Amino acid sequence: MQADLEKGPPRRTAKPRVILKTPLEQEGMRRAGAFNGQLMDFIRPYVTAGISTARLDALVHDYTLDHGHVPACLNYNGYPKSICTSINNIVCHGIPSEKEILKDGDIVNVDFTTIVDGFYGDSSETFFIGDVSDKARHLVAVTARALLLGIRAAMPGKHLSAIAQAIEPYVKSQGCSVVRQYTGHGIGKAIHEYFNVFHHIAADSDNIMLEPGLTLTIEPMINLGSYHVVTDPVDKWTVRTRDGSLSAQFEHSILITEAGPEVLTLTPSQRASGKMLVVAGIAEEFTL
């Protein structure tokens, strides 16, 4: 679940607190990330036309409990479900519903966080439902590449701003925009740990040093139109593009190591293919 600049870690003038994970804690984060990846591959075949988003939520919820873990989004700051399902022009925090049925031509982001032995894993993917438009396909490909660029930029010894500097110029060059109000975040024994991970270039970003032992999420939200968003005045959660344009997102949790970023939330299918992402319908090498 994304850090909202209003609901997530508070903006500070002081240097944000950074928690470097011990080797034992890193193993805990690996277990949490591995389960989250396993869960993503579990739900993947169900994300098809004709299914309700409430059914997807129930499947993820039950699978998580059946494996002895905790769906972290449920009741987080009052959020009513275990996953977020954000369709077409919904940027993030779409609430699953029995009335919301996926249909041919939709794109949908499925986002969830799980707690495994006290550690959090967090990831999301955007799926094509049937035959989507060329514009939707372009947006999703750009978003997948943006995540890949952000992860590759997260090298030890660099500052956090390197992630945004890798993502935003590329996204703009493709005629899209980076959502500004919602960000990635530190993660560990809490869903949001003490700093925000901006995906757009900003002077007030939490520009900490990327050090071995740091764990964080990279989760660019990319719009086909303007970056401006609006929050539903009724449910107070659902965030849409202000201009009605399509939005997409991909997310991984990562650990900074001496050798570079380690992706914690790889799915079994991604590990088997040697790719950070496997996007159905896009023949591209999102290699590790």
Per-residue pLDDT of the chain (288 residues; tens, 9 = 90+): 788 766 655 454 456 788 999 999 999 999 999 999 999 999 999 999 999 999 999 999 999 999 999 999 999 999 999 999 999 999 999 999 999 999 999 999 999 999 999 999 999 999 999 999 999 999 999 999 999 999 999 999 999 999 999 999 999 999 999 999 999 999 999 999 989 999 999 988 888 999 999 999 999 999 999 999 999 999 999 999 999 999 999 999 999 999 999 999 999 999 998 888 877 766 565 665
Q: Is residue 285 part of a domain?
A: no
**From the DSSP assignment, how many helices (H) and strands (E) are in the chain?**
5, 16
Q: Is residue 150 part of a domain?
A: yes
Single-letter amino acid, residue 232: D
Q: Is residue 288 part of a domain?
A: no
Q: Is residue 198 part of a domain?
A: yes
Kindly calculate the radius of gyration of the chain based on its CA atoms and give it in whole angstroms.
17
Q: Is residue 282 part of a domain?
A: no
Q: What is the C-alpha to C-alpha distance for residues 32 and 117, in angstroms, rounded to an integer?
A: 8
Which residues fall within 8 angstroms of residue 186, CB to CB, at 6 or more apart? 9, 18, 19, 192, 193, 194, 195, 197, 214, 215, 216
* Strands across the sheet containing 196-197: 3-4, 182-185, 196-197
Q: Is residue 253 part of a domain?
A: yes
Q: Is residue 280 part of a domain?
A: no
- pLDDT score of 7: 60
Q: What is the CATH number of the domain that holds 205?
A: 3.90.230.10
In 3D, which of 164, 252, 266 has the Cα closest to residue 207?
164
- pLDDT score of 2: 85
Place of tokens 């539903």: 232
- pLDDT score of 275: 84
Beta bridge partners of 85: 110
DSSP-derived letter for residue 281 is T
b/e per residue, 64-91, with b = 16+ CB within 10 A? Answer: beeeebebbbbeeeebebbbbbbbbbbb
Domain count, the chain: 1
Q: DSSP letter string over 8-55?
A: SSPP-SSPPP--PPPHHHHHHHHHHHHHHHHHHHHHGGG-STT-BHHH
Range of the domain at 140: 3-273
Both tokens of 165, joined, read 């500097």
Q: What is the C-alpha to C-alpha distance for residues 245 and 142, in angstroms, rounded to an integer?
A: 15
Contact 3, 184 (CB under 8 A): yes
Contact 61, 43 (CB under 8 A): no
Both tokens of 200, joined, read 């757009």
- pLDDT score of 43: 98
- Kindly report the number of other CB atoms within 10 A of residue 136's CB atom: 20
In 3D, which of 244, 238, 247, 263 has the Cα closest to residue 4?
238
Q: What is the C-alpha to C-alpha distance for residues 105 and 71, in angstroms, rounded to an integer?
A: 29
Tell me if the pTM is above 0.85.
yes
Place of tokens 């041919």: 104
Q: Is residue 279 part of a domain?
A: no
